Amino acid sequence: MAVEPPTPPNCHFIPMAPTKRFSGKSVIITGSSNGIGRATAVLFAKQGAQVTITGRDEERLEAAKKQILKLTSKPNDLNVVVANLTDSKGLDDIVNSTLTKFGKIDILINNAGANISDGTLNTDQSIELYQKTFQINFQAVVEMIKKTKEHLIKTKGEIVNVSSIAGNEQTFSATPYYCAAKSALNQYTRCIALDLIQYGVRVNSVSPGVVVTGFLGAMGLPDEVRDKMANFMASNKACIPAGFCAKPNDIAEIILFLSDRKKSSYIVGQSIVADGGTSLVTGMTAFDMHEMI
């Protein structure tokens, strides 16, 4: 006797929301009230991460918060901390509030930095400026990593530091402390990458060239001077062979790539240079051969 096949249960297709790239990941992004850090926070939020944004300027941080809340259906996935990274209480507030709100830390982006200016240049730069410059561009990174290390080991997390081509072999002699601080950061990145990879934590960095952000404004330059400089550099092949300045998002995409174990698992202790070709130019190649003969 032929056996009737069982009747399949009433099965309705329930469409599942696609899992976002950083769903469930807790990310701290320093210097996310502006520029590259803010663009990075926005991208992480779009990709489902739980994001801690931070900076000193409450108004700018509020603007960043509003921008992110427009994108997410989960306002609880955002943690906003007004803090100065050169003050150890500020660092503790960032780490502790993230742990309280999200319960863990998966990714640390050490982005905050500045080419602080007090009007002195070259070897005339003051010792006070040297201390301030190293404090925000180097020491704050070291302290953040020390404070988050045990948590990142628990999650086998990722660290991405934002350096600069100013830390590479080409020099920007007007601002030696900023360049030296970023060089120190590059070597620190390599050293700790080798140490932390044994615990499953990856450390990398990105070294941008010229990016249009609040960076020059923070040096005290008015917007019209900043725009003039950006236009000059973009239209001069000796400055930026690609012919344009980067936007914050261009660097943010690289930061997300380096934070994504599925995309960049075998990259350890490296810095990706993103400078439109700036650091390839030598004094000789900056000129047209026809001008020489």
Q: How far is CA 128 from CA 105, 120, 177, 234, in A?
A: 34, 11, 11, 33
Q: Does 210 bind ligand NDP (CB under 6 A)?
A: yes
Q: Does 53 bind ligand NDP (CB under 6 A)?
A: no
User: What DSSP assignment string belongs to 205-248?
Assistant: EEEE--B-SSHHHHTT--HHHHHHHHHHHHT-TTT-TTSSPBPH
Residues 229 to 288: which contact ligand NDP by CB under 6 A? none
Rounded to an integer, what distance in angstroms lies between the CA atom of residue 159 and that of residue 259?
7
Q: Does 81 bind ligand NDP (CB under 6 A)?
A: no
Q: Does 36 bind ligand NDP (CB under 6 A)?
A: yes
Q: Minimal distance in Å, beta carbon 57 to ligand NDP?
A: 3
Residue closest to 130 by CA, chosen among 214, 111, 138, 168: 138
Q: Minimal distance in Å, beta carbon 120 to ligand NDP?
A: 19
Of residues 213 and 259, the one with the C-beta less far from ligand NDP? 213
User: What DSSP assignment string belongs to 49-79?
Assistant: -EEEEEES-HHHHHHHHHHHHTT-S-GGGEE
231: tokens are 């236009």
Q: Who's near 288: CB < 8 A, 6+ residues apart?
A: none
Residue closest to 40 by CA, chosen among 206, 276, 197: 206
User: Measured in whole angstroms, how far is the alpha carbon of residue 292 from the centre of its chain?
Assistant: 41
Of residues 174 and 197, the one with the C-beta less far from ligand NDP? 174
Of residues 34 and 186, the one with the C-beta less far from ligand NDP? 34
Of residues 139 and 155, the one with the C-beta less far from ligand NDP? 139
Q: Minimal distance in Å, beta carbon 24 to ligand NDP?
A: 25
Of residues 48 and 55, the one with the C-beta less far from ligand NDP? 55
Part of the chain binding ligand NDP (CB under 6 A), chosen from 73-81, 83-91, 148-156, 236-244: 83-91
Q: Minimal distance in Å, beta carbon 67 to ligand NDP?
A: 13
Q: Does 160 bind ligand NDP (CB under 6 A)?
A: no
Rounded to an integer, what distance in angstroms lies between the CA atom of residue 204 and that of residue 213?
22
Residues 103 to 142: which contact ligand NDP by CB under 6 A? 111-114, 136
Q: Does 226 bind ligand NDP (CB under 6 A)?
A: no
- Residues at the contact surface with ligand NDP, assessed by CB under 6 A: 31-37, 55-57, 60, 84-86, 111-114, 136, 162, 164, 208, 210-211, 213-215, 218
